[in-house]
Structure 1
Amino acid sequence: MPALTYVTSVSGLHVLILCCFRPQHNGKFCQGSARLNQLCNTKPCQPSGVDFRAQQCAEYNSKPFRGWYYKWKPYTKVEAEDICKLYCIAEDFAFFFAMASKVKDGTSCSDHRGDVCIEGACEPVGCDQVLGSKATLDACGVCRGDNSTCKFFKGQYVLQHRANEYYAMVTIPPGARSIHVQEMEISTSYLAVRTLKRKYYLTGDWTVDWPGKFQFGGTVFDYQRSFNRPESLYAAGPTNETLVFEVSCPSVPVCLDVR
């Protein structure tokens, strides 16, 4: 006799569980997985909304940790295989801890990807919001697109200036996608990004930021720099404000690729 259990999770994940008990008339037990996952509530969250992973960390605020109480926030600077574990960092302290072996089903794997965690594993979500789909955005953000509606911009910055100054290379408007900035060879210069009002998001006021992911302008920028490779900066976009890309102390050409 089959039995169906339908569960709705507040995290935006429907779970359908099929159970077969005592098959009759020489029947067989159900084959394959007994669990079917489907996304729901796929509309973008409000910017003021509370992050689901943050909610899970906050649940430990009222629980003593080694005899003390802390305020916990999500910590996601972990290896890819650990992204679906609940790592939390103590607010105003420098330590983090794995509070749970897995986050709740439906938790986003990261802030800038649509993939979700299910049963402790990061599962892909296509641009069509279908779990397990391989549908992707093209360079200008069209789901399953072929770049035919894109307008591409590409250029090189090859001027040299005096040291100890910032020089603007290019200004990109809101709505830009697939942004690439790449040095042509290793140099002593640094890439910087600011707004039109001279608010620096990356490497401003002569403070050089470490490589990593930076969230600004409505998207996440991946800043790469090492001793044996040229600098690079990439963002999928879209941006939501005008951004000015600069270079400090330029000594070699910088190749700019903006789409």
Structure 2
Amino acid sequence: MGKLRSGAAEWLVPGHTGRPRLFQNLLLLLWTLFSCSLGGSAQGPGEWTPWGSWSRCSSSCGRGVSVRSRRCIRFPEEDPCWGDSHEYRLCQLPECPLGAVPFRDIQCALYNGRPVLGTQKTYQWVPFHGAPNQCELNCLAEGHTFYHSFGRVLDGTPCTPGAQGLCVAGRCLSAGCDGVLGSGALEDRCGRCGGANDSCLFVQRVFRDAGAYAGYWNVTLIPEGARHIHVAQRSRNHLALVTGDGRYVLNGNWAASPPGTYEAAGTHVVYIRAPGPEETLHAAGPTSQDLLLQVLLQEPNPGVQFEFWLPRERYGPFQARAQTLGWALRQPQPREVEPRPPDPPPAARAAVPTRAPTLVPDPCPPCPDTRGRAHRLLHYCGSDFVFQARVLSRHHQAQETQYEVRILLIYKNRSPLRTREYVWAPGYCPCPPLAPHREYLLAVRRLVSPDGTQDRLLLPHAGYARPWSPAEDSRARLASRRCPL
């Protein structure tokens, strides 16, 4: 599901300069004359005008939508502009007063007392939410067992009561973290919208110290600003959490707290105690103050696992305080969390200097060279799909790698594609590798299992996957003309 598109365009005819862009128009004229002298014609896409200003919110209270638009300026020989002519964003106004009539109810009520269905009979209408298209104005005739669709609801109408999605031009769209409806933008682990997990560090360790006596033992300091906190242990011991002023959030004073959600340091801490000897803590963060994680020992400690993400600028002070308290910490891991081997034995850890971390060699061998026009033509012409896509996530499953992608532009497809698809690559170390949050031009094949239970998009080993750029786009369009019919 993507942002809405509209075919609005303007033709640029000789003698019409539009906005005063003399230098750009002069370059365009020179390029046109050069192309004509070679016997060619103007090719490529047109040019967008700057975005207009955002419109007023569609609602007077609560949630609604604003829209802005732009126009495509192009010669008759040029392709339409790439991208969207309209963009919609969420606007949040003060909550509607108690007793306010919902927006959909108002739209249905507009047809009260008006003849419909080709007769002079009138009805009183209320919203009906059981119809297939939730962005149609489906209204139920009060006192009767039928409903009628009056077309699309107005932009900004909630798709269903209490849902986050809003209807825009007949489609139910959700806002990304950038507030744009249908953008699909997500926050990374650092809390940055559309980020790549590069502004924070991943801290992970197993606390294995075994106390000589029962009681509370310090595990780690969870600093202010920590996100995506996860703690787990499997024993009859209990996890305890202490605020900066010494107040226990849970499992304090030798008393077990019930499982549930607790508020601490500006975030919600979910405490789960399974029927067996398993205990976990989860918190989304960010924390507004330091927290101290402890374990109440009642038996030998098998290990307390903890992890969280921390802004880079806070890692140095955190490490200094942790070392002062006698907690040796592993070097932080940037970006994405990959499966990690088990910790080395204590003797091996002691042999490695703490201030000179060794570089871990890349376990994946280098990929074969796949550059060149012949390779591009081979994969472009032999593929079922060629498209520009943004990689949203990457997961390793058994001997395969799964990429979730959002398709931005389709060059070639032999069957319909959805806005979001999964692309599979063979092996734990696929070639070429795709990095999350980057855009690529991909040539993939459709692979259907003999029994018909699996229908996949496959990126072959040493296949065609290039970082998207205008130059790569031009090469792909040229390759499409060289494929045999």
Instruction: Provide TM-score, normalisation by structure 2.
Output: 0.31
Deviation at 1:245, TM superposition (A): 0.6
Q: Please name the residue that 1:39 is paired with.
A: 90
- Conservation of the 8 A alpha-carbon contact between 2:204 and 2:307: yes
Q: For 1:196, give the aligned amino acid.
A: G
Q: Please name the residue that 2:163 is paired with.
A: 121
Separation of aligned partners in 2, 1:232 and 1:187: 11
1:230 lines up with 2:278 in the alignment: yes
Q: Please name the residue that 1:169 is paired with.
A: 219
Q: Please name the residue that 1:151 is paired with.
A: 201
Deviation at 1:120, TM superposition (A): 3.5
The one of 165, 168, 188 equivalent to 2:236 is 188
Q: Please name the residue that 1:13 is paired with.
A: 64
The one of 213, 216, 234 equivalent to 2:261 is 213
Deviation at 1:131, TM superposition (A): 4.3
Q: Please name the residue that 1:109 is paired with.
A: none
1:255 lines up with 2:297 in the alignment: no
Q: How does 1:45-124 map to 2 (within 5 A)?
A: 118-123=160-165, 124=174
- Conservation of the 8 A alpha-carbon contact between 1:163 and 1:248: no
Separation of aligned partners in 2, 1:117 and 1:237: 29
Separation of aligned partners in 2, 1:190 and 1:56: 45
Q: 1:163 to 1:140 in 2, by over 3 A?
A: same
Structure richer in helix, relative to its length: 2
Describe the SS at the equivalent of 1:8. coil
Deviation at 1:122, TM superposition (A): 4.6
- Name the stretch that deviates more: 196-205 or 168-177: 196-205
Q: For 1:187, give the aligned amino acid.
A: S
- Conservation of the 8 A alpha-carbon contact between 1:126 and 1:134: yes
Separation of aligned partners in 2, 1:191 and 1:13: 44
Q: Please name the residue that 2:190 is paired with.
A: 140
Separation of aligned partners in 2, 1:137 and 1:15: 22
- Conservation of the 8 A alpha-carbon contact between 1:14 and 1:39: yes
Q: 1:9 to 1:202 in 2, by over 3 A?
A: farther
Q: 1:141 to 1:231 in 2, by over 3 A?
A: same
- Conservation of the 8 A alpha-carbon contact between 2:236 and 2:277: no
Deviation at 1:150, TM superposition (A): 1.8
Describe the SS at the equivalent of 1:151. strand
Q: 1:156 to 1:135 in 2, by over 3 A?
A: same
Deviation at 1:190, TM superposition (A): 1.1
The one of 247, 255, 262 equivalent to 1:199 is 247
Deviation at 1:236, TM superposition (A): 1.8
- Conservation of the 8 A alpha-carbon contact between 1:136 and 1:143: yes
- Name which structure has the greater RCO, CA cutoff 8 Å, separation 6+: 1
Q: For 1:40, give the aligned amino acid.
A: C
1:102-123 per-residue CA deviation (whole Å, 9 max, x = no partner) reads xxxx9xxxxxxxxx99523354
Q: Where does structure 1 lack aligned partners over 5 or more consecutive residues?
A: 1-5, 17-36, 46-51, 58-105, 107-115
Separation of aligned partners in 2, 1:39 and 1:248: 47
Separation of aligned partners in 1, 2:227 and 2:296: 24
Q: Please name the residue that 1:239 is paired with.
A: 287
Q: 1:178 to 1:161 in 2, by over 3 A?
A: same
Separation of aligned partners in 2, 1:117 and 1:192: 43
- Conservation of the 8 A alpha-carbon contact between 1:182 and 1:257: no
Deviation at 1:239, TM superposition (A): 0.7
Identity among equivalent positions (%) equals: 34
Aligned residue pairs total 167
Q: 1:134 to 1:215 in 2, by over 3 A?
A: farther
Q: For 1:134, give the aligned amino acid.
A: G
Deviation at 1:142, TM superposition (A): 1.3
Q: 1:153 to 1:160 in 2, by over 3 A?
A: same
Separation of aligned partners in 2, 1:191 and 1:130: 41
Q: Please name the residue that 2:228 is paired with.
A: 178
Q: 1:208 to 1:126 in 2, by over 3 A?
A: farther
Q: Which has the larger radius of gyration?
A: 2
Q: For 1:208, give the aligned amino acid.
A: A
Q: Please name the residue that 1:65 is paired with.
A: none
- Conservation of the 8 A alpha-carbon contact between 1:127 and 1:143: yes
Separation of aligned partners in 1, 2:60 and 2:254: 48
Q: For 2:288, give the aligned amino acid.
A: N
Deviation at 1:193, TM superposition (A): 0.9
1:83-108 per-residue CA deviation (whole Å, 9 max, x = no partner) reads xxxxxxxxxxxxxxxxxxxxxxx9xx
Deviation at 1:133, TM superposition (A): 4.5
